[in-house]
Amino acid sequence: MPRAARRQNHPVRTDLHTPAGPQAQDATPHSARTRRGRTLRARTAAAIAATVSGALVLSGCTATNSVVGGLPDPLVLTTYGTSTGSYADLAAVADRVSVDTGARVRIITSDTSVGRLAALRSGAAQVGRLGDEYIFGFEGVNEFANQDWGPQDIRVAWVPLSPHGVMTRTADGLDEMSDLRGKRIPHYTANPSANAKVQALLAYGGLTPDDVQWVNIGYGEQADALQQGQVDMIYGAVYGGSFFELASQVSVQWVDLDPDDAEAVDRLQTVVPAAQVGSFDRAPAQEEGDSDHGIVYSVAIAAYDEIEDATIYNLIDSMVDTYPEYKDSTISLPRWDPEEVVVEPLETPFHDGTVQWLKDHDRWSDEAQEKQDELTERGERLHEEWGRFMETEPDDEDTYRLWLEWKRDNGLAKESEEITSGFF
């Protein structure tokens, strides 16, 4: 049987587990969590209507999608802008998935965390390759700590790892993170994920936010800003197209981290727990055979819980089957090796379709299930506490701080959130 036909007929899971134990697949397509998500979405329909309409026009989506090769047709994805490595990776994968399944696959881009998550929430896209907004949205923090958002039913679908680094001008002699004291550091507009990583990297160098000068810029504008001397460093996926273009015009270098500096790594992970120090090569500003160290973490593929399990299962199946066909399309895609992806949830639950795929391929463990149950229960509590919190009618400008205090008072605090918030 052809792969696409096999996916078309793949049965929906019947043996997944929740914190309450095993349950059969409900014939009703939407759970109580979905209804809660719809209620939350209804409150912001007017605010995002124009954005959604534009996205639908760009993607060619219609209100009703057919199913081709086990996937919605068209399947619409969202990710970072076209000059980024994240986009290049996703575009190459999407092309092979489309050929494999026969479904049309399209991409909506946004340079902001809110823009990418809004595309998923509105239904303009079904799946996204996201920064940490999937974590922030799940927790209802940063830009999502307001009455229009709050905790979201986001689930992780697939977790390939990606190297990120800090680039500086060679002439400036900024070789270590500690050298950035007093320097001009980008603060990315509406991008709490990238901002948290920058703060974590400063912490690696023993610096606090008060030790640097912040410059507000868009994430997609930073390469030009470094070239023009408006900032002294930039941060991002090391294989981004804008980084290669910059390196062809200006002498730049990577700030090399020391993976053996345990105290520095501990400071880094206190701010961003999922980040690790790892090596990368073949990046811009590197000679053949050279390597540097940056941070490695997942720019995860994620979706709302309400997306059909079969959609996520079949998408993973196709990405795994076609890996040999796309792995050499970009420098970073070899890191999408199915044997190297993260198979245990860390800060956000996995999608049920992902869990079923991992079970079917003997990649799911008791430890992973325990963490999955813990995070699913946390999500339920976050929704409950958010409802109680909103009954206090917090002032809009103070909602984020008050919500973090509420989480602390109710046993839901996360140290990394409190550090990056600047409130504590």
Q: How many CB atoms lie within 10 A of CB 263?
A: 9
Tell me the pLDDT tens digit for each residue of 106-128. 999 998 889 999 999 999 999 99
Over residues 416-422, the mean pLDDT reads: 90
Candidates 210, 162, 153, 158; CA nearest to 182 is 210
Domains of the chain from N-terminus onward = 3-160+299-421 (3.40.190.10), 162-297 (3.40.190.10)
pLDDT band at 27 (very low <50, low <70, confident <90, very high): very low
Compute the distance between CA of residue 376 and CA of residue 372 in angstroms, rounded to an integer: 6
CB within 8 Å of 88: residues ≥ 6 apart: 239, 240, 241, 330, 332
Over residues 2-15, the mean pLDDT reads: 50
Compute the distance between CA of residue 185 and CA of residue 335 in angstroms, rounded to an integer: 29
Q: What are the distances in angstroms from CA 178 to CA 170, 204, 255, 259, 266?
A: 16, 8, 10, 15, 15
Over residues 287-311, the mean pLDDT reads: 96
Compute the distance between CA of residue 272 and CA of residue 193 in angstroms, rounded to an integer: 10
Compute the distance between CA of residue 181 and CA of residue 197 in angstroms, rounded to an integer: 17
Tell me the pLDDT tens digit for each residue of 81-90. 998 889 999 9
Tell me the pLDDT tens digit for each residue of 162-221. 999 999 999 999 999 999 999 999 999 888 889 999 999 999 999 999 999 999 999 889
pLDDT score of 387 more than 90? yes
CA atoms within a 13 Å half-sphere pointing along the CA-CB vector of 99? 10
Angle between helices 45-59 and 32-43 (to 10 degrees): 100
pLDDT band at 422 (very low <50, low <70, confident <90, very high): confident
Greater pLDDT, 297 or 38: 297
pLDDT band at 56 (very low <50, low <70, confident <90, very high): very low
SS3 readout for 136-196: HHHHCCHHHCCCCCCCCCEEEEECCEEEEEEEEEHHHCCCCHHHHCCCEEEEECCCHHHHH
pLDDT value of position 241: 87
With DSSP H G I counted as helix, E B as strand and the rest as coil, what are the percentages for the chain, rounded to 5?
45, 15, 35
Tell me if 206 sits within 8 A of 287, measured CB to CB: no
Q: Which run of H or of E encompasses 35?
A: helix 32-43
Compute the distance between CA of residue 347 and CA of residue 269 in angstroms, rounded to an integer: 13
**Bridge partners for 156 per DSSP:** 302, 350
CB within 8 Å of 411: residues ≥ 6 apart: none
pLDDT value of position 8: 52
β-strand pairing of 213-217 with 184-188: parallel
Which tokens go with 152? 């979201």
Mean per-residue pLDDT of the chain: 87
pLDDT band at 3 (very low <50, low <70, confident <90, very high): low
Compute the distance between CA of residue 100 and CA of residue 103 in angstroms, rounded to an integer: 8
Candidates 25, 289, 294; CA nearest to 177 is 294
Residue 236 burial (CB < 10 Å; 0-12/13-18/19+)?
A: buried
Q: Which residue has the tokens 């299962």?
A: 313
Candidates 156, 131, 154, 122; CA nearest to 49 is 122
Q: Which run of H or of E encompasses 101?
A: helix 85-101
Which tokens go with 398? 């103070």
pLDDT value of position 384: 98
Greater pLDDT, 403 or 24: 403
pLDDT band at 374 (very low <50, low <70, confident <90, very high): very high
